[in-house]
Structure 1
Amino acid sequence: MADSDHSMSFGRVTRRLALAGLFVAGVGRAFGASRATVPSDVMPPPASDPAMMVWRDWNAAYEQAMWRCDRLQELEAALGERVDALWAVVSVPGGEETIVCSKAALDRIVGERTDMADIRAKAEADLDARQAHFEMVATEIGYFEGLRAEQAGFAKVEALLEALSETPAVSLSGVVGKLDAVLRNGADWDDRSSFPWPQIRSAREDLMRIGRQLTPHAFFPGG
């Protein structure tokens, strides 16, 4: 298992601890759909604001990455229905049965015990068979392809977020865009009710309120 590019326990298939509970089953977004599209009754983002230009690219990448994340969760659910957990049961002479999920764990249990050679061989064969079945099903349904696409999508999001932080804003819309990107990117991974997300959300709303007073028909991200 350790030699395989895709070696993993099935417990790690649902590896997104940060995304636990973020998405509600059955509620998805259409590919390319953006929650921050410009309504028809407002002015588009200022073309002269470089920060807004980067925000538009970031917003598109973010929505695409989230769609890929939703899709990968669907593939993970399909894996869970067709693949058993990657483990084997080891019966230690004079001891209790133990579940191992890797050959490294098996090494820790067996150690140098020569009386467990047959037990080790059977456990290794079980692990290899389960791993092979996992990889066959995962390849068949496109899980690994989806995983690579998700990773590439979030890498693009992070790169554009960094670019946005380095791009000066020349309008209130641009400043709001920066806060919107930070809020949506960060609050999705943390407790949205804890510091600093309520404070950032409040600052964004304040800027939008002030901006609408100054330019009633302007577009503000997150509005």
Structure 2
Amino acid sequence: MADSDHSTSLSSVTRRRLLVGTATVSLASASHISGPVSARSPEETRHVPDMAFALWQEWLTAHEKTAAACRKQQRLETRLVKEIGFPRIVVAAPGEPEPVPIVSMEELDDLLGCEPATSSLRARARADLIAHQARWDAADETIGYSQAKHVEEEAAERERQLIETLWAAPAHSLAGVAAKLDAVLAEGEWCKGCPEFPWPQIRGALADLVRIGRLQNAFQGVGSSPSAESSG
């Protein structure tokens, strides 16, 4: 049976995907710059892999897979609902002012109880609910909705694990710090370009880091390469 928060899930993933990637090219162009946070020389630090930036790249790939899986299961759910309808029935129970929608046997038992007076109504309602659930299950098997939902859940769990690892990983470059801020924005903003504190401030800090990284790239000659110029 479908979850009730799918539309929220889809809009959330879609919104986050719009937020993510705005700094991807800029961060990639700055990834060679390591604002030294240790006693290493700038030249030495440039060649030290930044685990935070690498994790961000891995997380971004996982994020895209989750978004794609979410879109697929939403599409299949819409098709399933259109063809079959959610497996539920409406029961006109004694004592209730209006018919009551029922989606499970537990709800049906709670509504009608075990009294002999409702036994016939209960039996018909149970048969109707079982039949509707069977139609849903058969269509689901053909359409592949449940399988798609399972794939989405696995992708989302992988994304969650990666971002938790990213939060815990120390950044050793401007790109690493900027990558973590970009992930914070993607996970935290409730709307694109959210005006509420602290999101404008975080976006500003991210823009500062990218700008400083580009300036350092240009100063050290990295930014003068054709690839760097084309990515800007």
| Structure 2 counterpart of 1:113, from 112, 115, 139 | 115
Match of 2:8 among 17, 22, 42: 17
Name the counterpart of 1:125: 127
TM-score under structure 1 normalisation? 0.76
Q: CA deviation at 1:36?
A: 6.4
Q: TM-score, normalised by structure 2?
A: 0.74
Equivalences for 1:19-98 in 2 at 5 Å? 19-20=10-11, 23=14, 38=25, 43=29, 45-46=31-32, 48-93=49-94, 95-96=96-97, 97-98=99-100
Moved more, 103-112 or 115-124: 103-112
Gap change, CA 1:204 and 1:35, over 3 Å in 2: closer
In structure 2, runs of 5+ residues without a counterpart are 33-46
Contact 1:14 1:76 survives alignment (8 Å) = no
Matches within 5 A, 1:171-210: 171-187=173-189, 190-192=190-192, 193=194, 194-210=196-212
Query: Which structure 1 residue ranges, 4+ long, deviate > 6 Å from structure 2?
Result: none
Distance 1:137 1:51, change over 3 A: same
Q: Which has the higher helix share?
A: 2
Query: Contact 2:66–2:159 (CA<8 Å) still a contact in 1?
Result: yes
Moved more, 45-54 or 60-69: 45-54
In structure 2, do the counterparts of structure 1 residues 75 and 14 end up closer, same or farther at CA, with 3 Å as the change threshold?
farther
Change in Cα spacing, 1:197 to 1:128, as seen in structure 2 (3 Å) is farther
Report which structure shows greater RCO (CA 8 Å, sep ≥6).
2
Aligned-partner SS, 2:6 = coil
**RMSD after superposition:** 3.0
Q: Name which of structure 1's ranges 13-22 and 46-55 shifts more when overlaid on structure 2.
A: 13-22
Instruction: Decide whether aligned partners of structure 1 residues 95 and 70 sit closer, same or farther in structure 2, where only a CA change above 3 A counts.
Output: closer
The count of aligned residue pairs is 200
Which structure 1 segments of 5+ residues have no match?
1-7
